[in-house]
Each structure stands twice: as structure tokens, then as C-alpha cells.
Amino acid sequence: MLSINSNILIVSNMGPKPSSPFQGKFVHNQVWALAALNPGYHYMRWHSDSLLNKFLKYPVFTLDFIWRYVLSRRRFDIVHVHFFYPTIYLALLYKVLRNRRVKIVVTCHGSDIYKYQPPGRLYRWCASKVDQWIFASKALAQHFSLPAPQARVLPAGINELFRQAEPLSWQQKSIDVLYVGSLDQNKGMDRLLALLPVLRDKKVVLAGAGPWLEKLQRCAQQFPNVLVVGPKDSAALKQLYQQSRCLISLSRHEAFGLVMAEAMACYTPVIATDTDGAKEQLTHGVNGLLVSQQGDEAEVIARLTGALQQFFALSEQQYQLLQQQGRAGAEQYLLAAVVTELQHLYQSVVR
């Protein structure tokens, strides 16, 4: 394992805010799991939904970083950046001002690659300074068009709490369809609204927060079978997963999708659109159902409707098989396994 004397600083441009109180929680969980290494941890502490915050959050984020870590007596050997661009600038600032020999590790989560294609000059220059790349999925790594000689595929990891989940039968469950995640356009909330008439006879629970929250709450007033419960912590999510017959993921783009791994760890099969993250975790008909996003939205909705009908026609034996296969596949994403890999990676970077 890595020497406790190798100082590590973890930097994330994510942090909780009123509309997303658990944003960046997966990075926090990783830091907590690495506690034996006593890493430094810089995240976006000042984070809100105000216009002022939108314009000033990165300047404040940078000044806070300089005060806490560049001017600190503690010297770091590795800076691990979560979400490559523009968070990478803080690692480069540390390298220039504090320790020119520092090693830079970067974890790419999705939109830090998707939104910058083709990559601009500054993006390419920053990428050339990275010593070790980590990608949340194989497909995301394939989207990265720049040289990455030292690269690994490693998801952020799901809370160890989900390891203790117990399998419940179809009859023991009280929720038909569960959605967990951000309530926004990319996550397919417009698709969810289009599917609600199809799900009139099913109990649907939506857990999350985001710009579509009020719209979904108004819609839930028209559909008494729909319950919007807001964001939940891992313990509450575990209960929701175990009580749900399936999790639905409607994303247009998803680099990995930790909620899918969490659900499957709780023996809950997943119905998902075929994003990078879904294809990384799901094999159609083996541990869930994958739905193509080819064609226009009407075609996607039709295929999702068909997948839901197929799912609710499963026999008890078929459903149990999906549960067991999902759980077996998700165990590799539990935080303990991921952190062990991360410690070995830090060790190789220091060498």
C-alpha cells in the first residue's frame, strides 16, 4: 500500500447546493475511504443556485485553494483532480507555485470530455501536463481524443452500505418503478413525463433534485401513483432500491451512472437507455434491459414503453435471475474494491 508519507490532495469542483444537496457525494465517499492516507480535500464549499454564485464560484474556489493549500506548510506529492476541465487549473497552479515535481492524477466523469469535443488549444495543453488518467468507463475513455499514455478505467465507487443489501422477491416489493438522480433534461425528465400515462397503474417514486423538480411535482398532482420524495442519502436510497422492482435510467448521456450500480447491488434490475455508462454495466436480458436511443424521441419513447411492458411480463424465475446477475456485476464497484485499486495507482504514480 501507499506510504502514509506520500501526501495526496484531492480536488473536486463539485459540492452540495440547495438544488442538489448530495452533489459530489461520491468524491466525498472516496476521500472518507482513503482516510488512512490523510488526504487533503478541496471541494466547492461556496455553492448555490444564485446568479452571483454562477459568476463568482470559480474565482472564490481558486482563492480558497490558494489560501488553504498553496500557502500551507504541508507539501503534496500528488494532486488528484476530479472532473478534468476546468478543475485542472488548480493542480497546475499548485505545480507552478508550490511543487514543480507534483504528480497530477485526473478522473474524468463525463461532461468534462463530452462538452469539449473537439478539444481546444488550452484544453490540449492542460491534458499534456497530466501524469495519470482515470476514466469512469471504457466508453468514456474511447471518447477522449487526446494522447493518454498512462490511463485506467475506474468508477468512483458505491457506498459500502450497499454491500449489506438483502434480496427481496417481486411480491415483497412495494414500488414498481424508481428513478434516482438529477431532475434535468440530460437525465431524461421529459421522457419520464411522456411515460407517466403508460405507468398509470404502477407506483412510481422519483428521488432527486434539479431544475425539473417543480414541474414533476405539479405533474404528480395529476398522477396519484407518482411520488416525488426529493434527494435522499445512501441509507434512505438503500431502502428505496430494495423496495423497488426496477430502477429506470433515461439519460441522454451518462459516463457511468453510479445509481445503476447502487440499484443492482441492492438486487434491483435496471431499465436504461444505452448510454456509455449503461453499456458499461448492463448486458441486455442478463442483468437488465438496454433501450436504444436511435431515431427521434417518439421512437425512443416507444422502445421504452416496450421495455417496461417486457419487464412487467417477466416470470418470477426470470426476475430472480436478473436480480442475482445484477448483484454479481455490481460487487466490483463497491468502494472498498475501488479504493484498493486507487491506492495501488497512487503508489505507481509516486514511483
pLDDT mean by block of 10 residues, the chain; 351 residues: 69 89 87 93 93 94 97 96 97 97 95 92 97 94 92 92 95 98 95 96 95 92 94 95 98 94 98 95 94 97 98 97 96 93 93 81
Residue 190 lies in a domain: yes
Domain count, the chain: 2
Over its C-alpha atoms, the chain yields an Rg (Å, rounded) of: 21
Residue 317 lies in a domain: yes
174 with 143, same domain: the answer is no
Q: How confident is the model at residue 28, as a pLDDT?
A: 92
146 with 257, same domain: the answer is no
Short-list 184, 172, 303, CA closest to 242: 172
Residue 150 lies in a domain: yes
148 with 185, same domain: the answer is no
Place of cell 431499465: 271
167 with 102, same domain: the answer is no
Q: How confident is the model at residue 4, as a pLDDT?
A: 46
225 with 342, same domain: the answer is no
Residue 1 lies in a domain: no
Short-list 256, 262, 321, CA closest to 288: 321
192 with 267, same domain: the answer is yes
236 with 94, same domain: the answer is no
CATH number of the domain that residue 177 is part of:
3.40.50.2000
Place of cell 466525498: 28
Q: Domain range for residue 311?
A: 160-332
239 with 176, same domain: the answer is yes
Cα-based distances in Å from 65 to 94, 122, 123 = 9, 21, 21
Q: How confident is the model at residue 344, as a pLDDT?
A: 94
Short-list 84, 245, 264, CA closest to 158: 264
Write down the pTM of the prediction: 0.89
Residue 80 lies in a domain: yes
205 with 322, same domain: the answer is yes
141 with 48, same domain: the answer is yes
Residue 98 lies in a domain: yes
Residue 3 lies in a domain: no
Residue 82, phi then psi, degrees to nearest 5: -100, 125
Residue 194 lies in a domain: yes
258 with 137, same domain: the answer is no
C-alpha neighbours within 13 Å on the C-beta side of residue 155: 29
286 with 174, same domain: the answer is yes
